Amino acid sequence: MRVGLEFLRQWYPNKNAKVYVPNPTWPTHVGISNKAGFEVERYRYYDGAKKGFDLNGMLEDLEKADNESIIIFHVCAHNPTGCDPTQAEWQQILDVVKRKNHFSAFDSAYQGFASGDLETDAYSLRLFSQQTDRICLFQSFAKNFGPYGERAGCVSFLTADATETAKVQSRVKQIARPMYSNPPIHGARIVDIILGDD
């Protein structure tokens, strides 16, 4: 996430964009966003009185946000509430995101833990990626593969073509290199072995 947000800080066309996070969210979302130089705002997500997801509050806040804001979403198993939008609600959220030309930054740390099915838990991400190219994914394998101390994960950006992919990859490497030089390798190898085995 730190690498991805730094990339957006340097290359996102709207230099005045704020990062919007759900209220509540994983506390480090705010710290990482601030460290990358972004001002952070919160959008309503959880209604404590109803003890459930606040769709109307979220939609209102995303609608009020400046155009081309960066919105952080949890793909599934929202941390800390555990409440996720339904498939129909995700479509309503996507409609506002597209209308406001927001950039969607998905955090996936618990794929497989919400429903028990990897495909079901990836629904929101797949829905958005089919309808917009203004999207990235911060993916952690620490929980669902077990290498917590290794911090295996990746950042992915949806690009238009091979030329754009090469540019993005080069710039991401330029950002990552002075941050940590080389990532831990053992966790990544474990994930690679598992994902490479039908």
pLDDT of residue 1: 95
* Segments of the chain assigned E as strands: 19-23, 40-44, 46-47, 52-53, 70-74, 103-108, 135-140, 153-157
More confident residue, 141 or 96: 96
Choice among 54, 84, 107, 121 that is catalytic:
107
pLDDT score, position 87: 97
Is 26 noted as a catalytic residue in this protein? Answer: yes
In this prediction, residues 160-171 reach a mean pLDDT of: 95
Which has the minimum average pLDDT: 4-8, 42-46, 85-89, 152-156? Answer: 152-156
Q: Which of 26, 54, 61, 84 is catalytic?
A: 26
Q: With contact defined as beta carbons under 8 Å apart, do 92 and 59 qualify?
A: yes
- The average confidence (pLDDT) of the chain is 95
Which CATH code fits 2-195? 3.40.640.10
pTM for this entry: 0.94
Summarize pLDDT for 30-67 with one digit per residue, the tens: 999 999 999 999 999 999 999 999 999 999 999 999 99
Residue with tokens 């838990």: 121
Annotated catalytic residue within 18, 98, 100, 143 = 143
pLDDT for 11 = 96
Q: In angstroms, rounded to a whole number, what is the distance separating the alpha carbons of residues 100 and 92?
A: 13
Joined together, the tokens standing for residue 160 give 């238009």
Domain ranges of the chain: 2-195
